[in-house]
Amino acid sequence: MHRHFILHKPYGYICQFVSNHKQNKLLGELFEFPEGTMSIGRLDEDSEGLLLLTTDGKMSERVRRKDVEKEYYAQVDGLITEEAIELMQQGLEIGSGEAMYKTLPCKARRLDPAPDFAPRTKKIRDDRHGPTSWVSITVTEGKFRQVRKMTAAVGFPTLRLVRVRVGDMHLGDLPLRGVQEVEDFKLYQD
């Protein structure tokens, strides 16, 4: 019988249980997961939020499908404009050289008021460096650092990135470092 978990991944952890680098903080330090547990849909070390974990290797393929939405809240440098949001919604070229590609159209909107997340464990910056704003970006693809590259491409670099939803699985009010076992991953509405 397979087991499934959701985790509110904190900043500074990698989505692995084993690493050759002693300085890396690993998921196993947050909770004692059963043997064979793996993360689905990684978050990089600088990103936070909803992480799905399972002992079922076939589950990963279901989550990576192009019809499963992944929603992120990004705190960006500056007051994001409607023009920048529209450019992201339409899809835009990101990357460079042979690694350049055009993103698929996505959903994007300004978040006002800003989400009420606990302060990040590593301070982002002082308010004296100028204003920031929050945007929700929902994608169906998951290229390397895609959301960060998208906001940078429209002139608003990401300062903090939190995944809040994968399919119909929501971060909700799960506390930072919190783990919840779930019966199954609800990726689509019934």
- Distance CA(92)–CA(16), nearest Å, equals 31
- Distance CA(38)–CA(43), nearest Å, equals 13
User: What does each C-alpha distance from 17 to 6, 32, 119 come to in angstroms?
Assistant: 15, 11, 25
Q: Give the single-character DSSP code of 151.
A: H
Catalytic residue status for 56:
no
**Encoding tokens for residue 97?**
């050289």
- Distance CA(133)–CA(130), nearest Å, equals 10
**Coarse DSSP helix, strand, coil percentages of the chain, rounded to the nearest 5 percent:** 15, 30, 55
Q: With beta carbons less than 8 A apart as the criterion, state whether 181 and 3 touch.
A: yes
Helix residue ranges per DSSP H, the chain: 59-64, 82-90, 146-153
User: What does each C-alpha distance from 38 to 144, 163, 171 come to in angstroms?
Assistant: 19, 18, 18
Q: Which residues are catalytic?
A: 44
